[in-house]
Structure 1
Amino acid sequence: MYGVIAQAGALIAIGVAWRRLRPMGLEADALRPALTSLVYIVLLPALVLSVLWGSDLGLDTLRLAVVAAACVLTGLALGWAACRLLRIPPAAAGALILAAGFGNFTYLGLPLLEASFGAWGREVAIQFDLFAATPLLLTLGVAIAAAHGDGQRREGALAAVARVPALWAAAAGVALNLGGVPTFAWLIGLLETLAAGVVPLMLISTGLALQGVAGWQQRLGQVTPVLAIRLALIPLGVAWFAAVVGLEGELWRATVIESAMPSMVIGLVIAERYGLDTRLYAEAVTLSTAVAAVVLPLWFTALGGWL
């Protein structure tokens, strides 16, 4: 796991270095949308379609979706409780609740699970995210952001869900899988070629999004509950609940690791769109990602001892 973290860290470091050095005069904030758009619109849907078309979809898929939903909902509830206890203002509270509830399940979880568990680890990350986390983000997450933001009306939740290419790819992959449609070697080869770019571009984009924010030490007290929720309390609860619903062995282990991902990078877009405290959200992402580099290998080792 330490080697996997080191590889992922090296790719993230490329993005961080680009933000500081600006090669060829390209700003990170200009480059990142281009990379993430390519992944979001083309490469990730190709990966999702190729994985779900050939996956073994069964009862464990349903169990995984239930665990993923419980993971997100528990994180949101704990984040809300912490903000109430600390009497955090609405714009900051909305950012922290989202940061506590939604982990970087695809952008970081997918490459880490694939490298740690093999190709089937991609199935866990994709099903965890697309069968529960992303629909919750675009419905409940958007509602939370709207309730704590500037009050302006935005695109409806159903319209937002309908505009996610990876969800359409997931629907197509599941339909082809359950319909017994055979895969075509040339098409799967094309999809896998496109999918090969997902992991490095995801991790570099994560690095491009990380930024130091002046005065973060003064706000550490607000961010600390998010770190505890995302990296400790949630995976601990998922370890128990996943076993209760029937996940076993390496699938149980991968699910717990997936639940322990740091705060979701794409949440910055929602925070900006709904007038939340984007600076505080960026701090939560940056700090949780840094701490996760230490915590995730510890979880991996601890879970290995439980099997």
Structure 2
Amino acid sequence: MGLTAAFTNAVGPILAVSVVGYVLGRGTDVDVGPLNTAGLYVLVPALAFHSIATTSLGGGEVLKLGVGVVGYALAMLGLAWAVGRLTGESGPLLGALMLAAAFPNSGFVGIPLSEFAFGETGRATAVLYLTIQNLLVYTLGVYVASRGTDRGVREAFGEIFRLPLLYAVLAAVVVRAMGWVPPAGNAAMETVRLVGDASIPVMLLILGLQLADTDVTAVTRSVTPSLLKLGAAPLVGVGLALALGFEDPTVARVFVLECATPAAVIPLALTIEYADGATVDGFTAPEYLSTVVFTTTVASVAVLTLVLAGLEAGVVF
């Protein structure tokens, strides 16, 4: 797949739907909250259940994927901390830099992109990546966001058990283990699939709506974390994929593609919750991180096209 094909077949559709959401957000006062709640509590859990219940991925690949997601987050946290200290960042802005580097947008961008590029295996791998990452976000991510504040990690750790995604994954695992997965074409599974498929365009619309509401006043200061996320992250992903030795090359490619996606939106909610009041050089951590999300999302159009073209050409796997 060349650059043109990579953009047309995978990146282009993602961009098009996101732009619709952006234009909608700029031209109307639509409230993204209810839409986000529907996606978080209904659509994404349905997508996760159906993808995991019907996936052809083996247990060994899933285990390697889990190690890879954790390894990527730890590696990028360490790299971001080192770069942040060298560039003089501290306190809540250093925490925001670390969050931006460690947690890619594996849901809103990664799942649709992986499905467009690699089909059912791509979607299942991306859903698993997102699930494992969410566990990290509400543990390790909360710790990073709350450093230097009087808020504890335990308080937000409960978010993991409040979100339906975890239970959808557990239910899918049990159904597979017990051999209870209904046959293809079953009405119940087709209904779950239909609801899950709706999450793809909805996530992209939400992404566009969120970008439309982003304050980009700190754009010049977002260069360092943006370069980390878009430049170093794909290389870290390739290194981990090679070290883990995925048996299925498609899983390896999706893993690298997920690592290369722009900064995630969920850590922004954490910084608003834990570090909204602290100001460094006139910027709050949420302002800083929202600008990074905006910058990396816009710039990722070119980066993801290059990464995807390279992966499809078999440059590494």
Of residues 1-10 and 35-44 in structure 1, the stretch that sits farther from structure 2 once superposed is: 1-10
TM-score of the superposed pair, with normalisation by structure 1: 0.91
Q: Which residue of 2 aligns with 1:39?
A: 39
Name the SS of the counterpart of 2:215 in structure 1. Answer: coil
Amino acid at match of 1:96: L
Q: Is the 8 A contact 2:64 2:244 kept in 1?
A: yes
Amino acid at match of 2:68: V
Amino acid at match of 2:78: A
1:109-124 map, 5 Å = 109-124=110-125
Shift of 1:232: 2.2
Equivalences, count: 296
Q: Which residue of 1 aligns with 2:310?
A: 302
1:209-220 map, 5 Å = 209-210=210-211, 211-217=213-219, 220=220
Q: Which residue of 2 aligns with 1:71?
A: 72
Q: Is the 8 A contact 2:216 2:287 kept in 1?
A: no
Q: Confirm or deny that 1:54 pairs with 2:62.
A: no
Q: Which residue of 1 aligns with 2:254?
A: 254
RMSD: 1.7
CA distance in 2, matches of 1:176, 1:270: 33
Name the SS of the counterpart of 1:274 in structure 2. Answer: helix
CA distance in 2, matches of 1:215, 1:142: 25
Cα deviation 1:214-266 (Å, max 9, x = unaligned): 5334xx2x422222222221221221221221114222112111110100012
Q: Which residue of 1 aligns with 2:3?
A: none
Q: Confirm or deny that 1:272 pairs with 2:272.
A: yes
Q: 1:2 aligns with which of 4, 7, 27?
A: 7
Q: Which residue of 1 aligns with 2:280?
A: none
Q: Is the 8 A contact 1:46 1:169 kept in 2?
A: yes
Q: Which residue of 1 aligns with 2:171?
A: 172
CA distance in 1, matches of 2:20, 2:294: 15
Q: Which residue of 1 aligns with 2:299?
A: 291
CA distance in 2, matches of 1:259, 1:133: 11
Q: Which residue of 1 aligns with 2:198?
A: 197
Q: Confirm or deny that 1:106 pairs with 2:111.
A: no
Shift of 1:157: 4.4
Shift of 1:177: 0.8
Q: Is the 8 A contact 2:216 2:294 kept in 1?
A: no
Name the SS of the counterpart of 1:264 in structure 2. Answer: coil
| Unaligned residue ranges in structure 1 (runs of 5+) | none
Q: Confirm or deny that 1:282 pairs with 2:290.
A: yes
Name the SS of the counterpart of 2:304 in structure 1. Answer: helix
CA distance in 2, matches of 1:214, 1:206: 16
Q: Which residue of 2 aligns with 1:231?
A: 230
TM-score of the superposed pair, with normalisation by structure 2: 0.88
Q: Is the 8 A contact 2:72 2:240 kept in 1?
A: no
CA distance in 2, matches of 1:206, 1:122: 18
Rate the CA distance shift 1:145–1:212 in 2: closer, same or farther, 3 A: closer
Q: Which residue of 2 aligns with 1:163?
A: 162
Q: Which runs of 4+ in 1 moved over 6 A?
A: none
Q: Is the 8 A contact 1:68 1:129 kept in 2?
A: no
